[in-house]
Amino acid sequence: MNEKCDQILSEEHIKERHRNQHWPFNEMLDILSNTIVFEDIGSMIKSAEEIIKKDETIRAIDRWKQPSLTGYRDIIINIKMSNGFIGEIRLNVRQMYEAKEIFGGNELFELLLCLQEGIDNYEITNQEATDDYLIIIENLNIFYNKATDLVYAEMEANASSLEITHPSLSLYTDKYGVGDKVLSEFTRNKWRLLAANISKRHLTN
């Protein structure tokens, strides 16, 4: 069964994105978005092909072929509605979606956004922020690559001969760094607060 998740960005979030990320308002095509989660990658691709054929479709981005900088994968399709408003449909498979929404991906991305806040408030230097940025990006790629491996493992085994688990930050990433590269004290403190949210979700799932 496919799961649908609607999202409307708040006015505060839109203004914050414009201010902190220098994102032009007219380029925000995800203010109204709908995510459809599939149990297998084949069903996702078939659905994407059907939507892309529609006249209302104005753009499609396949991030399973070309992942985002963080390693996250999905298919993004922008649709022009009858009133001229452009909305967004995101298609994904369960393991990748849950890696982001439940098992820590969102929190790691939020950690990236905290770096600019730290610079603006003189809590972290530009060099520390740059070093931390690279560490977090590397961790995100490790994390989402593991989720990708789980997707293909389930596809090959047809979910019958393998026990498929969820990606876990504690297993696949080092929350304080990668190798001999360690996060700054500012970012470590931010991460402790964000990681608490992940732990709560693990207890309820």
Over residues 20-61, the pLDDT tens digits come to: 656 555 555 566 678 899 988 999 999 999 999 999 998 899
- Asked if residue 97 belongs to a domain, the reply is no
Neighbours of 203 (CB within 10 A): 7
| β-pairing verdict for 75-80 and 86-93 | antiparallel
Same domain? For 139 and 181 the reply is yes
Domain that includes residue 153, residue range: 102-204
- Asked if residue 192 belongs to a domain, the reply is yes
Q: What is the pTM of this model?
A: 0.77
Over residues 98-150, the pLDDT tens digits come to: 999 888 898 988 899 889 889 989 999 999 999 999 999 998 999 999 999 98
Whether the pLDDT of residue 86 is over 90: the answer is no
Residues in Cβ contact with 198 at an 8 Å cutoff, skipping those fewer than 6 apart: 103, 104, 107, 169
- Asked if residue 42 belongs to a domain, the reply is yes
Confidence at 159, pLDDT banded by 50, 70, 90:
very low
Confidence at 69, pLDDT banded by 50, 70, 90:
very high
Same domain? For 106 and 172 the reply is yes
Cα dist. 149→154, 156, 173 in Å? 9, 11, 15
- Give the residue, 84 or 20, on which the prediction is more confident: 84
Same domain? For 110 and 161 the reply is yes
Question: Considering the chain, what is the average pLDDT of its residues?
Answer: 79
What pLDDT sits at residue 172?
Answer: 47
Phi then psi for residue 177, to 5 deg, are 165, -175
Same domain? For 75 and 110 the reply is no
Number of compact structural domains in the chain: 2
Q: How many percent of the chain have pLDDT more than 70? A: 70
What pLDDT sits at residue 195?
Answer: 81
Same domain? For 20 and 81 the reply is yes
